Amino acid sequence: MTNSMLSASFYLRKDVEQLARALLGKHLHFRDMVVRIVETEAYRAPDDRACHAYGNKRTPRTETMFLPGGHAYIYLCYGIHHLFNIVTGPKDEAHAVLIRAVEPIKGLEKMRQKRNYPKKDQSLTNGPGKWTQALGLTTALDGQSLLTDELFLTKGETVSDSEILTSKRIGVDYAGECADRPWRFFLKDSDFVSKK
DNA sequence: CATTTGATGTTCT
DNA sequence: GAACATCAAATGC
């Protein structure tokens, strides 16, 4: 059954870097829409200064990251954009993978409508604030399980290592040496990877 | 084409 | 006040 929902054990793995890689090519289903993940970034408390939960800091916002793997962590960035992360690892280890870009697979017309009809379909979903708007994901869904009928992942297409490129994470220059960690992963052949 | 700026919630100083 | 896991529109070449 290649089309069945990914189970809790997938998200509970402890190595968030490997999980960020493994998420490429997976399909994300939200209501009647489907997208394919093409760009991810790993964030890991407590040692990663770029992570909101650096030092295992708990705030009303970061509390979601301490949930067991398999939940959505959605927060507001720059007061405007809703950014979507997948919580990974066991409970109380605040690891998460930011989904930075996706390719639309199903529900294109609905996405165009929510994004106010951009000229190119690429700009529907080629950025972390863009694709969440295209699907209508907001902080209202923060903390929701990814093992529900409304929101879940499936295996999608298998991706080989030769199709994956790596770089430093984007927009985390404030994080000192941690900013140099090669924890951004993306598919080299996708037209939907975010622009610098 | 490149660079700047306005939008603005949560968190920290 | 300032900074921040961003984006689109305005401005300057």
Q: Is residue A2 predicted with pLDDT exceeding 90?
A: no
CA distance A162 to A61: 36
How far CA A149 is from CA of A4, A5, A30, A153, in Å, comes to 11, 9, 8, 10
The nucleotide closest to A175 (CA, C1' atoms): C5
Q: Is residue A37 predicted with pLDDT exceeding 80?
A: yes
Tell me, in Å, how far CA of A78 is from C1' of B12? Answer: 15
Beta strand A33-44 with A95-106 is antiparallel
User: CB of A58 under 7 A from strand C?
Assistant: no
Tell me, in Å, how far CA of A162 is from C1' of B13? Answer: 45
Span A69-119, pLDDT tens digits: 999 999 999 999 999 999 999 999 999 999 999 999 999 999 999 999 999
Q: Is residue A129 predicted with pLDDT exceeding 70?
A: yes
Token duo for residue A163: 């199709």
**If we measure between CA atoms, which residue out of A137, A179, A185 comes closest to residue A159?**
A185
Q: Which nucleotides of chain C are near protein (any atom < 7 Å from a CB)?
A: 3-8
